[in-house]
Amino acid sequence: KMAGSSAPWIGSAYLFLQSTCKTVVLPSLYESSQKKPSVFKALKLALADSTGSVNGVDMLKVHCSHPHLIVQLKFCKQENCRRFLQSYREGALQESLQNHLQLSLAMTAVPLEMELKAGNEHLDNMLKDEDHCLECIYREKPDRLRDEEITELEERLKSLIVHQSINNNTAVKGCPSPNSPPLPCPSLSPQVTFIFQGQQFANRTLTSDDHQKFAKLVSKKWKQVGRSLQKNCRALRDPVIDNLALEYDREGLYEQAYQLLLRFIQSEGKKATIARLIAALEENGLISLAEELLGLHSNEDCS
């Protein structure tokens, strides 16, 4: 066994990143105080995508070693490490990070090359043998606590997410603070209220509770809802929805639906509102789920 039943499974690895575009130098971007939060945000979101959880893998330190950006990773659960390895092996992590960097840095494209190491082992050479990769990662215990800079960037990102998810029924009062990662600053919320079944409801940014209820109750219709949302959401344009279906097929409908809405929330920010989701649900006949999200009844089952 790689770990006794009493001790948690902990392992470490290094992710080497290099842009294949000469005009995009990742270490230089990370060394820039202005761009660093955007690069960190992209790393964090891509790693969350790879494990299906924000806390699935921990970044301990980001090293700038031109031309590479080297991220020291810590895993605390074997299942999270397996998911990460699967995502890395299938190219999903690479695609996700390229997309998040493109969005965060407002660039046309950020093509990447990746390499994964644990100690002296080059894991890229043994990716088909997942158990061997896990053993190598498990042997490499983290040699440091999380870097203070990483902790600071984590806090800034958390405060930004909280800022985005506050239920605001009135116009947005201001932009993120100067210390927050740069984001477009809308002058007004998309709409203050909306009508559903003849009733008026306050519009608001989607919450984690909305996210979980949607994933739990939408069932097989998650793809149809995704196609409704994609009309006004570039991040869900083809072939993203089909890729999500394949990537999370093993995890089941809940995870597929969860990842769909996660993409929508991440890309749309404050514009990821309950009104837009309710409209997509209505379009696909999911009235019971819409009522559940708006608190109109307490039934657990939705058609």
Q: What is the pLDDT of residue 186?
A: 35
Rounded to the nearest integer, the mean pLDDT of the chain is 86
Read off the pLDDT of each residue in 20-44 and give the average, rounded to a whole number.
93
With a cut of 70, say whether residue 21 has pLDDT above it.
Answer: yes
200 and 193 in contact (C-beta within 8 Å)? yes
Per-residue pLDDT of 188-205, as tens digits, reads 335 688 889 888 888 999
Q: Domains of the chain: which residue ranges?
A: 11-153, 193-294
Read off the pLDDT of each residue in 172-180 and give the average, rounded to a whole number.
42
- Alpha-carbon distance 147 to 30, whole Å? 15
Nearest to 61 by CA among 144, 137, 119: 144
- Residue owning tokens 């806090």: 155
Per-residue pLDDT of 224-235, as tens digits, reads 999 999 998 988
45 and 266 in contact (C-beta within 8 Å)? yes
Q: What letter does residue 194 receive in the DSSP assignment? A: E
CATH class of 193-294: mainly alpha
- Alpha-carbon distance 69 to 53, whole Å? 23
Per-residue pLDDT of 125-159, as tens digits, reads 999 999 999 999 999 988 778 888 898 888 888 77
Cut 0.75: pTM above it: no
Read off the pLDDT of each residue in 37-43 and give the average, rounded to a whole number.
94
CATH of domain 11-153: 3.30.70.680
